Structure 1
Amino acid sequence: MTTFFSLYQTIGWHLTVLVLFAFLLAGTVKGVIGMGLPTIAMGLLGVAMLPTQAAALLLIPSTVTNFWQLAAGGHLRTVCKRLWPLLAMIAIGTGIGSCMLGMGSAHGMGRALGAALFVYALCGLFLPTLKVPPCAETWLGPLCGLITGLITSATGVFVIPAVPYIQGLGLDRNQLVQALGMSFTVSSLTLGVGLFCNGALGEAEMGASLLAVIPALLGMLIGQWLRQRISAPVFKRLFFIGLALLGLHLLNGG
């Protein structure tokens, strides 16, 4: 039991409150729009703690909520068959990045994280949904996977460019939800392996990450309740605006 709380005892009560709030908010966003948990959590936690520490805390909540998302829809085999080149290159790219790039200094990674969040927000706000022709999937999928893996290893955020690519495949709603869940699951697991190999994931971080599952799941339940009562497009726009502001804050040095 001591292991579960040791990291929170080290960082103090004020950062512990931030962790709980970050995962509650991130889970709520994911419950409403089906994504956003790692992005929101990394962005908020990256303001106040080492990015490697934030990424370690993210590991179990992200994996659990992604498996939840992955289990729904009934199209798992179809999704895997279509996306395996993307998924394989995400794993390879994350592995290469973890060995060659890794998560560097807090200052440098904070700026990289801010840039990733800001670019992703601008894409969500202003770019139309991409249309990926079937003939381009054979080369574009692996390329997007490799780039996503490298960005994941450097920032802890695994949405660029995998999410725009998956959204451009023309999948139906259930397939899209499962495809995003599959992509996020592979990214979070390979990021966890990279953190472990670099010595950034020990018993204290795993215990703290396991406890963070509670606010993340509670947030998802709240988000699913909100989804029936608010406009998802309006919520998504507010999400991207908030993400852009957070990215600018991190770019300016936090």
Structure 2
Amino acid sequence: MTEFIITMLAFMAGGILKGAIGAGAPVLVVPVMSIYFGVPYAVAAFTLPAIASNIWQGWHYRHSLEDAGFLWRLTLGAGIGAFLGTVLLANLPGELLSLVVGVLALCYVGFKLFKPGWSLPYETARRLAAPAGFTAGVLQGAAGISAPVSVTFMHAANLGRLRFIASISIFFLGMSCVQLPSQIGLGVMDRQIFLFSLMGCVPLFLGMPIGAWLVKRFGVKLFDRLIMTLLVVISVTLIAEAF
């Protein structure tokens, strides 16, 4: 029961993060779940909340979508990568996956701290869309965390907040729609995890409007610092357990 409550709180915290900045929920939820249930369970359990929340967010911000070619290349590459990543998830040892999740979360924190102003010319970002999407998809499929590539890449492309939220919602939705049938086919997703994943949708959606309100009241910087501190603690825990 303790693990269940903590996990549901993690889903709510992930929803708050997603409501505030439009992305980042799996960076928080997957490491927390991995501590208690292992990486394959955590990655699979986040799939349905990812699909549901990104459908809602993508529809809500649909009028901010631009440059379909860029988005299609990014999402198609991500879908192919997500399938390959799910194959890795089903076959790699749990300790290695825990280590990967912990390291990826730390990489995300490190890049946010030391390269906050890093940017790409948009034309360069368009050319790199497919390989960036593929790399992010592999990470998402295998470890449930693509933010060190996906969020960093799309922030660097300077899309603007509304277009960023709309685009990354479609991007994550494309990956998740590949992950779900792949996880079922490879035996990663079973009936118990599916039901747990459905339950996770509730606190995630409850957290999203809270995040949207908090970021308007307190700003993004304070919010980011609190999340980064929490991620460091979680990442170190996962890496220590892997050894």
TM-score, normalized by length of structure 1?
Answer: 0.87
* 1:91 partnered with 2:79: yes
The separation in 1 between residues aligned to 2:117 and 2:179, in whole angstroms, is: 27
Residues 202-245 of structure 1, C-alpha deviations (whole Å, 9 max, x = no match): 22222221121111111112222322321221111221232123
State the partner residue of 1:5: none
SS at match of 2:35: coil
* 1:140 partnered with 2:125: no
Residue ranges of structure 1 left out of the alignment (5+ in a row): 1-12
| Structure-2 change in CA distance of 1:236 and 1:219 (3 Å) | same
| Structure-2 change in CA distance of 1:88 and 1:171 (3 Å) | same
SS at match of 1:170: coil
Does the CA-based 8 Å contact 2:21-2:165 persist in structure 1? no
Residue ranges of structure 2 left out of the alignment (5+ in a row): none
RMSD over aligned CA atoms reads: 1.9
Q: 1:216 aligns with which of 164, 189, 204?
A: 204
State the partner residue of 1:121: 109
The separation in 2 between residues aligned to 1:64 and 1:129, in whole angstroms, is: 31
State the partner residue of 1:31: 19
Does the CA-based 8 Å contact 1:97-1:150 persist in structure 2? yes
Structure-to-structure mapping, 1:172-183, within 5 angstroms: 172-183=160-171
The separation in 1 between residues aligned to 2:231 and 2:136, in whole angstroms, is: 18
Does the CA-based 8 Å contact 2:44-2:188 persist in structure 1? yes
State the partner residue of 1:45: 33
State the 4+ residue runs in structure 1 displaced beyond 4 angstroms: none
Question: Could you tell me how far 1:174 is from its partner in structure 2?
Answer: 1.3
Question: Could you tell me how far 1:52 is from its partner in structure 2?
Answer: 1.1
> Which amino acid is the alignment partner of residue 5 of structure 2?
V
State the partner residue of 2:151: 163
The percent identity for this pair of structures is: 23
Query: Per residue, is there more helix in 1 or in 2?
Result: 2
Q: Which deviates the most, 198-207 or 97-106?
A: 97-106
Aligned length: 242
State the partner residue of 1:106: 94
* 1:205 partnered with 2:179: no
State the partner residue of 1:154: 142
Q: Which deviates the most, 111-120 or 133-142?
A: 133-142
Q: 1:71 aligns with which of 59, 64, 69?
A: 59
| Structure-2 change in CA distance of 1:33 and 1:101 (3 Å) | closer
SS at match of 1:48: helix
| Structure-2 change in CA distance of 1:226 and 1:77 (3 Å) | closer
The separation in 2 between residues aligned to 1:243 and 1:96, in whole angstroms, is: 26
Does the CA-based 8 Å contact 1:114-1:247 persist in structure 2? yes
| Structure-2 change in CA distance of 1:198 and 1:181 (3 Å) | same
| Structure-2 change in CA distance of 1:235 and 1:245 (3 Å) | same
SS at match of 2:119: coil
| Structure-2 change in CA distance of 1:163 and 1:20 (3 Å) | same
The separation in 2 between residues aligned to 1:107 and 1:149, in whole angstroms, is: 21
Q: 1:14 aligns with which of 2, 14, 17?
A: 2
TM-score, normalized by length of structure 2?
Answer: 0.91
Residues 181-216 of structure 1, C-alpha deviations (whole Å, 9 max, x = no match): 112212222222321121011222222211211111
> Which amino acid is the alignment partner of residue 160 of structure 1?
P
Question: Could you tell me how far 1:170 is from its partner in structure 2?
Answer: 2.1
Question: Could you tell me how far 1:138 is from its partner in structure 2?
Answer: 4.5
